[in-house]
A and B are shown apart, each in its own frame.
Chain A
Amino acid sequence: DQQVKQNSPSLSVQEGRISILNCDYTNSMFDYFLWYKKYPAEGPTFLISISSIKDKNEDGRFTVFLNKSAKHLSLHIVPSQPGDSAVYFCAASDGDSSYKLIFGSGTRLLVRP
């Protein structure tokens, strides 16, 4: 059973508009969440993270929101750019001492010019 779920396999948005990527998790022990971006033929690269003690973290055009009661997080990209087209993975960890990240299945974002 997947502990981290990304229910939308793909998303298409117009350049300049907002992209919202969603992620749900089932394990209430998760306390740290990350988003990774992956281009074809490259490894995933770290994008942004959030600790469970926060409900929002912002870095430039990227903002991650966490709703612990709903076990839901989302990544907002504003404004979206064609270079943002990639696969985005949500990941979770149950603490800094945990060695493992649990990844979702990914959402492929296409930003149309």
Chain B
Amino acid sequence: DVKVTQSSRYLVKRTGEKVFLECVQDMDHENMFWYRQDPGLGLRLIYFSYDVKMKEKGDIPEGYSVSREKKERFSLILESASTNQTSMYLCASRPVTGLYGYTFGSGTRLTVV
């Protein structure tokens, strides 16, 4: 069974901390994505990567950075966590071809206090 695995289901961090959210996929997919889900706003794209060491900003990149050193792993970094970054974070991947959208991880619920 193919999987996208997010390392933590729940995280609580303090304001100002540097936070790492990890995502690993075992499907050899080229494209990987980080979204955040907030009530009434749906899923908003933070960053995506179309290949190793390649990254592009999504719609809401401010306050975030990413790292993709290996094909299977895509990390989201909150440089200095703030309370408005409290959210559900979803990682997804997809192959470079194919029309069947993304495979999502189970999500990480991050609370910044």
Question: What's the Cα separation between A46 and B44 when bound, in Å?
Answer: 17
- Report whether A44 and B9 are in contact in the complex, using a CB–CB cutoff of 8 Å: no
A49 proximal to B (CB < 8 A): yes
Which residues of chain A are near B65, meaning CB under 8 Å?
none
Question: What's the Cα separation between A90 and B92 when bound, in Å?
Answer: 16
B75 proximal to A (CB < 8 A): no
Q: Mark A19-59, 1 if CB is under 8 A from B, else 0.
A: 00000000000001010100001111110010100000000
Say whether, besides A6-B42, A9-B40, A100-B45, A43 and B98 are in contact (CB < 8 Å).
Answer: no
- Report whether B101 and A99 are in contact in the complex, using a CB–CB cutoff of 8 Å: no
- Report whether B50 and A99 are in contact in the complex, using a CB–CB cutoff of 8 Å: yes
Interface segment among B66-74, B76-84, B104-112: the answer is B104-112
Residues of chain A touching chain B, judged by Cβ–Cβ distance below 8 Å, are 4, 6, 9, 32, 34, 36, 41-46, 49, 51, 89, 91, 96, 99-106
Residues of chain B touching chain A, judged by Cβ–Cβ distance below 8 Å, are 4, 9, 31, 33, 35, 40-45, 48, 50, 56, 58, 90, 92, 97-107
* 16 CB-based A-B contacts, threshold 8 Å: A4-B42, A6-B42, A9-B40, A32-B99, A41-B9, A43-B107, A44-B102, A44-B104, A46-B101, A51-B99, A89-B43, A96-B98, A100-B33, A100-B48, A102-B45, A106-B42
